[in-house]
Chains A and B, each alone.
Chain A
Amino acid sequence: MEFVQFHPTSLFGTNILITEGARGEGGYLVNVKGERYMERHAPHLMELGPRDIVARATQREIDEGRGFEGQYIHLDLRHLGREKIMDHLPGIRQIAMDFAGIDPILNPIPIQPAQHYSMGGIPTNVDGETPLSGLYAAGECACVSVHGANRLGGNSLLETLVLGARAGRKAASNVKGEKEGFNPLAFQKQSETFQSSLRERSSGKGEESCFRLRGELKTVMTNQVGIFRRESDLLSANEKIKELKERFGRIGIKQKKLAFNNEWIQYLELEGMLHVAEVITEGALARKESRGSHFRTDYPERDDEHWLRHTLAHKTPEGARLEYKEVTITNYPPKERTY
């Protein structure tokens, strides 16, 4: 779960995705000094470098004071001309106009890197089966391990078009065959826990509120478990997540019924976010190397000898317990990345 992909170009402020296609068509990334800074980071590929490299380069420009207003970079499409922009990137133009009030034909688009995709997820086989019999996963929440430590643009299609269908077919055929080991009571019990948990929550006083805790979690994950990671930050993030988990227990919910209960939805989402944040942080703390999207400023090199392996996290009352699994290498062994 420590492999979280950051997309280099999201619209500054709203973080709506500005497609890679904008650079594919020939867009430039420019800092406040007017430099195409990718020249320093990937001189051969420039703006078309891999996502992790362009995202890190862009964040570094901003962190080192070469961003606009200290916060963003320009994605300049103006030299492509009106016709090409209107014909090839009409959606991007509309987004920039609607959400930033900027027409890319006339002005550069303000962008910043943003969290984009989780390479990690619930471990599944190619048929969507998880270690928990009867539970299937497909899509971003799943991890079939087709993306390694860094998904390539467009490869989510594999999950939406292929693996989703495979999981559905497998689930259907397993139900027909009444596969052994499936325990319907487990799901029934979970549903009862769900209902009684709402009753319990809605009777409490509620000194804490979801949106405040969510805001604090967002800040700590962005600042300390983001594009650049280091031990001291990860340790302090871990502490903060523990504190938030403890405060989470004091959240109260006013509405007692299930229909349109936004508070209850927010509560459940936050619970999931806290667990996921913990697993990401623990995994990132343990992985003392840099690989794909996971970058440690204190361990900037890839270390295949110790870390060419999958992290598996298990939920325990004390928090996440990590285990490791060997990687199956098929046709393409990892090699040094030079661009």
Chain B
Amino acid sequence: MIKTPTFFLKIKRYHPEKDPPCWMEAFKVETRKGMNLLEALLRIQDEQDGTLSFRYSCRGAVCGSCAMMVNGELVLACRTPVGGMLEETTLIEPLPFFPVIRDLIVDMSPLFEHFRKIEPYLHGKPVMPEREHIMTEEERKAIDPYIQCILCGICFGVCPAFNREAPFFGPAILAKAFRFLLDPRDRRDKEILESVNHHQGVWGCNTVFQCVKVCPKEVPPTHAIVKMRRKILKYQLASLFSRFSSLCRISSK
């Protein structure tokens, strides 16, 4: 039998009750054809160290639980094949910019707190029950790229604005706000724009497109942010103009 190649990893560990609480630990795993990183981590947890902690659930890149940093890049462990990483030791670290709770598990509450703030569910317009909400194919397609988000937090881990200050809403959340703004069935319009019209919202973004580059589901948050900025400016310009013209009317009387 041909011996399968060995996968060498170095994992950044953290346990607050240990001294020191943070350390690097080396592991090695016998690979099999087509093995992915999550599988390798699960094998370590099963066979070598039951205390190694990380999040996972679906194993199929739909739940967004297993985001982590691999050789400096942010990925979902479940869809990262180990095949391309067998040359040298692979460095595994938790998602950056979030507080670490244990090993590769980070506290994602900043993400979910912001998520709650934008009320990320349909605020439907009143409809005739027999017709329900009719949407055209074009309208659906416009929302499509923003629906793909799985809240994995990878975009937060590369976002300079989130790194600078945790109250920044974050790319995924702003993309989600835009998704409801685009949705013809949602009655909110101004409300959504107002909720992101500040420096922790669309104006905090550095527009460096890092989030667009790393998103595992190809969601383009920066595009959403730029489009919302334009809409806000348009609104403001329109209201300025109407105020100005009413002012002119008054003065001419």
Residues on B with beta carbons closer than 8 Å to the beta carbon of A255 = 50-51
Residue pair B50, A260 in contact (C-beta under 8 Å): no
Residue pair A99, B102 in contact (C-beta under 8 Å): no
Chain A, residues 248-270, CB within 8 Å of chain B (1/0): the string is 00000111000110110010000
Complex: how many Å from CA A255 to CA B79? 30
Count B interface residues, CB 8 Å.
17
Count A interface residues, CB 8 Å.
21
Residue pair A14, B60 in contact (C-beta under 8 Å): yes
Residue pair A263, B79 in contact (C-beta under 8 Å): no
Residues on B with beta carbons closer than 8 Å to the beta carbon of A263 = 50
CB distance from A305 to the nearest CB of B (A): 43
CB distance from A165 to the nearest CB of B (A): 15
CB of A98 within 8 A of chain B? yes
Chain B, residues 26-69, CB within 8 Å of chain A (1/0): the string is 00000000101000000001110011110000011100000000
Residue pair A16, B60 in contact (C-beta under 8 Å): yes
Residues on B with beta carbons closer than 8 Å to the beta carbon of A16 = 59-60
Residue pair B50, A95 in contact (C-beta under 8 Å): no
Residue pair A262, B45 in contact (C-beta under 8 Å): yes
Residues on A with beta carbons closer than 8 Å to the beta carbon of B36 = 99
Residue pair B51, A99 in contact (C-beta under 8 Å): no
CB of B105 within 8 A of chain A? yes
| Cβ-closest chain A residue relative to B52 | A262
| Cβ-closest chain B residue relative to A13 | B34
Complex: how many Å from CA A99 to CA B101? 30
Residue pair A99, B79 in contact (C-beta under 8 Å): yes
Residue pair A95, B60 in contact (C-beta under 8 Å): yes
Residue pair A99, B50 in contact (C-beta under 8 Å): no
Residues on B with beta carbons closer than 8 Å to the beta carbon of A13 = 34
CB of A211 within 8 A of chain B? yes
Complex: how many Å from CA A219 to CA B181? 50
Complex: how many Å from CA A262 to CA B36? 20
CB distance from B32 to the nearest CB of A (A): 9
CB distance from B190 to the nearest CB of A (A): 31
| Cβ-closest chain A residue relative to B81 | A101
CB distance from B64 to the nearest CB of A (A): 14
**Given contacts A254-B51, A255-B50, A262-B45, is CB(A14)–CB(B59) below 8 Å?**
yes
Residues on B with beta carbons closer than 8 Å to the beta carbon of A260 = 53, 101-102, 105
**B50 partner, pick from A98, A259, A262, beta carbons under 8 A:** A262
Complex: how many Å from CA A100 to CA B81? 10
Residues on A with beta carbons closer than 8 Å to the beta carbon of B81 = 101
Residues on B with beta carbons closer than 8 Å to the beta carbon of A211 = 46-47
Residue pair A254, B50 in contact (C-beta under 8 Å): yes
CB distance from A107 to the nearest CB of B (A): 15
Complex: how many Å from CA A260 to CA B101? 10
Interface-centre pick from B50, B52, B105 (highest chain A CB count, 10 A): B50
Residues on B with beta carbons closer than 8 Å to the beta carbon of A254 = 50-51
28 contacts between A and B (CB under 8 A): A14-B60, A16-B59, A17-B60, A95-B60, A98-B79, A99-B36, A99-B60, A99-B61, A100-B34, A101-B34, A101-B81, A209-B46, A210-B46, A211-B46, A211-B47, A253-B50, A254-B50, A255-B50, A255-B51, A259-B102, A260-B101, A260-B102, A262-B50, A262-B51, A262-B52, A263-B50, A266-B46, A266-B50
Q: For the A-B complex with A95-B61, A99-B79, A210-B46 known, give 10 more contacts whose Cβ atoms are closer than 8 Å.
A: A13-B34, A14-B60, A16-B59, A99-B61, A101-B34, A101-B81, A211-B46, A211-B47, A255-B51, A263-B50
Closest 5 CB pairs of A and B: A211-B46, A16-B60, A263-B50, A98-B79, A260-B53
